Amino acid sequence: MNIIIVGRRHGESRTYTISASARAVLLGVLFALPFAMGASGYWLAQHLADEGILDLNAAKAWERDLSMQRQELQQIRQQTDQELEALTMRLAQLQAKLLRLDALGERLVDVSNLQPDEFDFSAQPAVGGPAGTLGEAYQVTEINQVLDGLAERIDSREQQLEVLGSLMSANRISADTFVAGRPITKGWMSSRYGQRTDPFTGRLAWHAGVDFAGKQGADIIAVASGVVTWSADRYGYGKMVEINHGNGYKTRYAHCDELKVSTGDIVRKGDVVALMGSTGRSTGPHVHFEVYKNGRTVDPAAYIHRTLR
């Protein structure tokens, strides 16, 4: 096989002779080249497609991971919010209990007649001590345990204070309603309980109380707390106050110049209930003082210097 190549400029030609074997090889190459190019193109296309699929799968995997992380973060956030809310509620409950304890403590201070500066519940208690090594921070579970222990201690102290307060209040009530002392702040005893000579008739007569003389208008005070059951004129007594102290005890304050209380009033031990005068069957300014026990008069002298045990 001859191949003739003609030049473009000078029209010269060259002739090449191809042998049969070379011609066979050339034909083989010409036939194989399209298949090789097609195979290469197919492989390249397949490779690019595989890489695209891998990239898509990786993107989807990353998206799934991000979604799971978002869910976990949301769960952690919700759990943290719930724990904080629970701690806030516990702290609010403890604060309410502490306020009740402060109220109980202030009431006990009042009942026990302590000075406010001796035990001030509104002041922060002083604390201190040498600095120690710093430990690890509290975990939520440990904080809950501490709060539980504190709540139990507060409940226990609250019950103890309530019992103590009840006892002290009962003792104070008993002391206030305990009939004892004189019905005047200034004056002297001018007539005793029992048989005596009547100042108007000169005859022997029963005197159901004791008389305390003093200045006109001097204070007459209640010898115990109670309820006023009479505050008006009464035959023979003049202007009179009667107080019921409970437990079968009553006291009367007679011949008053002016009454300071009304029927139904609640009076405390030491309250001024009237002013000394000479109304009714009287010879001068004084207070006629009677003590009744279970409906009968008793000697007031036994109660003037009486003490609570």
CA pair distance 111, 108, nearest whole angstrom: 5
pLDDT attached to residue 56: 66
- 223-232 pLDDT tens trace: 999 999 999 9
Tell me the whole-structure pTM to 2 decimals.
0.49
pLDDT attached to residue 5: 52
Q: Could you tell me the CA-to-CA distances from 80 to 83, 92, 138 in Å, in that order?
A: 5, 18, 15
As given in the structure block, the two tokens for residue 110 are 């009042």
pLDDT attached to residue 6: 53
Taken in order 202, 206, 208, 212, is the CA torsion positive or negative? positive
pLDDT attached to residue 121: 56
pLDDT attached to residue 51: 57
Taken in order 171, 173, 174, 180, is the CA torsion positive or negative? positive
pLDDT attached to residue 283: 92
pLDDT attached to residue 147: 74
Answer yes or no: are the C-beta atoms of 102 and 122 closer than 8 Å.
yes
Question: Cα torsion for 94, 96, 99, 105, to the nearest 10°?
Answer: -70
Helix, strand, coil tally for the chain in percent (to 5): 45, 25, 30
pLDDT attached to residue 153: 73
Residue segments in the chain with a per-residue pLDDT below the cut of 70: 1-59, 107-143, 157, 160-177, 307-309
As given in the structure block, the two tokens for residue 176 are 């206030």
